[in-house]
Chain A
Amino acid sequence: MRSPIKTVIGLVLTAVMLFPVYWMINVSFTRDQDMRADPPHLFPVDGTLEGYRAVLDQQLPYLGTSLLVGLGTVALTVVLAAPAGYALAKLRPVGGGALSFVLLIAQMIPGIIMAMGFYAIYLNLGVLNSIPGLILADSTIAVPFGVLIFTAFMSGIPDELTQAAVVDGAGRLRTFWSVVLPVSRNSIVTVSLFAFLWAWSDFIFASTLDGGGDHRPITLGIYQYIGNNNQQWNAIMATAVVASIPATILLIIAQRYVAAGVTAGAIKD
């Protein structure tokens, strides 16, 4: 297959995949009376900017909070999960199997039960409605995933590589820092990516632990349009669109950087 044909196939696949996203954008521009038109309008013919007007007036400050929470979660997750994954994969500690087992099970606890448990802890610690509190809570979704992914990927690192470093007189910490981490770039990116995505789209923790704060993430902004009896759907969808634009740009940039890094690595081999 020639490259241009692949690009065309890729474009088609992406279009199919993103159709629901398009539909969301479509609804965000639609007037109330056209929302359930039968047959549905494929384009917002008599579009309205009402939804966006509401969002741009009210939601922009929250984007910053979301960004901060997302990046904080990424940092915390990698710091906690990378060494743990390394230890499980290479040092094979006593109870390592049990630990990864607990991590697996931990992910089964329904988010709302976790959130209710945290509420009591946070209230006593006084970190309700704070950004660090939310980062800590969001990291609990990503850390088990991170540890398992790091374990799976790091067990693929040849033992000779780490042994060579030890022979050179490097301690475990140094080996980890200057040998293991650099070769695990792929898994770090994967874990960071998901940590970011989870934190960005989290709803349950944000609403339970940060519902009343001044620094609310943008997902909670959607609540402003879910009234007691009525939902303002164009504004809800508009919030989601506005919230996903900066994150999408970030993703595309991040992936550029990753692709470059990978190719550079390949040439060195």
Chain B
Amino acid sequence: MKTPARRWRAVGAALVAVSLAGAATACSSSSSSDGSSDGGGSYAIWDPYPQFNDDSEWVKLLKSCGTSAGVTVERTGYDTTDLTNKALLAAQQDNSPDVLIIDNPVISTLAEAGALTTTEETKLDTSAMEPNLLGAGQSGGKTYGVPIGANTLALYYNKDVLTAAGVDVASVKDWPSLTAALAKVKGAGKKGITFSAIGTEEGSFQFLPWFWGSGAQLTALDSSQAVSALTLWTDWLKQGYAPNSVINNTQTTSWQEFASGDYAFSENGTWQLGNAEKLGFEYGIIPIPASGGGTAPAPTGGEFVSIPVQSDTGRYATSQKLVSCLTSPDNLLTTDTTLSYIAPVAAVQDKQVAADAKLKVWVEAVKAAKGRTGDNLGTKYPKISEPLWTATQAALSGSKSPKDALSAAQTTAASATK
């Protein structure tokens, strides 16, 4: 045991040492990173597909791209939400991976943080990519990655339930006809529609097709069109056409509800195609209708392949080879089939439809879709999206009217994006 006095001196010294160390780590950003520049031949790739393990097609593809570029690939799969924090933290400590595959709305955040290189710097070719999909990876006129595939939302329907309720799905063309169909389904003792209105980005993602389909713009959340979209959802809940649980549903929960066979419609994504084949009933897919008819623009989902900033710029050349390999038409076909995504390149989309005619409706939905951070919103989007999902929650849970909820949202969004 030390004497008390000595112990106190030790405390002081250690405190100073620690705060110095803290200051040092905060300032130094040029220390060598062991994760990425370890030896000449090892390249780190991070992706948000933790469901794929080492013997999956995806990881095999990564390894083979590494082999053809003459390097070994160190791959790590993270949970999506975890990956954003991880990428920021790694960038702060100059420990970024060489190639980062990340959800498209995060691109503008990471670009804003100065953590990503532009495709111009690293000489990545993006000319084959569909412009509306590439838009989600652009910010301030620069492109920060290459889409690896896209997904979007549409309406799955249960043929058995609709037949029993006497609804012809061809009659569902706009909002009034959809609501009428829901009323018939409820009258027949079944449940109408399920979606996800959870208080996260997922909730905004699911609301946007209706929001945009009403003609509203993200720059004016309190427009009368926006109010009509939120009123549509709120009325469905009030009438019992949609279950109360949507307020807390993730897209998975909403899919599970649809899979129970009780619901006529489910708003869900391209990625459910694989699960749809396992359903115990006949299903079909229609695009989400706009308020006055036609297809509503749905938001694009899906990931981008990007090259994070490295202190050793010499590594970009090899990273560029890796990215080009991953996004080459043949490999896109394999990857997008595994992920059940739509390819970002028209030629590959045609091949996908040729292989599976059911994908046609999705290819069309993706063509009509638009990026959330597009329209020059960039990092303003998150500041608009959060008030938007808050308003959705307030209206659906009955604590505010759609109009009040949206005007409060507009006030918040306007002051945040000023």
Contact = CB atoms under 8 A, between A and B. Distances in A.
Contacts of A126: 34
A58 B11 CA distance: 47
Given A35-B256, A36-B253, A38-B262, A91 B1 contact: yes
A94 B78 contact: no
B95 A33 contact: no
Most buried by B among A36, A128, A208: A36
B49 A227 contact: yes
A33 B279 CA distance: 7
A209 B271 CA distance: 30
A93 B252 contact: no
A29 to B, nearest CB: 15
B151 A93 contact: no
Most buried by A among B50, B151, B257, B280: B50
A35 B280 CA distance: 13
Contact of B260 (A37, A207, A211, A212): A37
B272 A230 contact: yes
Contacts of A34: 260
Given A38-B260, A226-B79, A229-B251, A120 B303 contact: no
Contacts of A123: 33-34, 93, 95
Contact of B4 (A93, A116, A224): A93
Contacts, number: 105
B50 A226 contact: yes
Contacts of A7: none
Nearest to B257: A36
Interface string B241-281: 00000000011110111011110000001011001001110
Contact of B8 (A35, A95, A121): A95
Contacts of B89: 116, 119, 208
A32 B1 contact: no
Contact of B82 (A38, A116, A121, A211): A211
A72 to B, nearest CB: 23
Nearest to B278: A32
Given A34-B260, A36-B253, A36-B256, A228 B93 contact: no
B82 A229 contact: no
Contacts of B269: 229
Interface string B267-311: 001011001001110000000000000000000010100000000
Contacts of A193: none
A223 B78 contact: yes
Interface residues of B, number: 50
B51 interface: yes
B50 A120 contact: no
A120 B95 CA distance: 10
Contacts of B5: 94
A208 B80 contact: no
Main secondary structure of the interface of B (DSSP, over half): mixed
Contacts of A32: 256, 259, 275, 278
A227 B50 contact: yes
Interface in B74-131: 76-80, 82, 86, 89, 92-93, 95, 103
B53 A224 contact: yes
A54 to B, nearest CB: 10
Nearest to B97: A212
Interface in A5-37: 32-37
Interface string A27-66: 0000011111110000000000000000000100000000
A228 B250 CA distance: 12
A94 B34 CA distance: 43
A119 B76 CA distance: 17
Interface in A136-187: 172
Nearest to B34: A126
B252 A36 contact: no
A225 interface: yes
Nearest to B28: A124
B252 A233 contact: yes
B252 to A, nearest CB: 5
Nearest to B21: A121
A230 B255 CA distance: 9
Contacts of A35: 256, 259-260
A208 B31 CA distance: 20
A33 B260 contact: yes
Closest 3 CB pairs of A and B: A94-B4, A212-B76, A33-B259
Interface of A: 32-38, 58, 87, 91, 93-95, 116, 119-121, 123-124, 126, 128, 172, 207-208, 211-212, 223-233
Given A227-B49, A227-B51, A231-B250, 15 more contacts: A32-B256, A33-B259, A33-B279, A35-B256, A36-B257, A93-B7, A95-B4, A95-B11, A126-B34, A212-B35, A228-B303, A229-B272, A230-B272, A231-B252, A233-B252
22 contacts: A33-B259, A33-B261, A33-B279, A33-B280, A35-B259, A36-B259, A38-B260, A38-B262, A94-B5, A119-B93, A123-B34, A124-B25, A207-B78, A208-B86, A223-B50, A223-B79, A226-B51, A226-B79, A228-B48, A229-B272, A229-B301, A230-B252
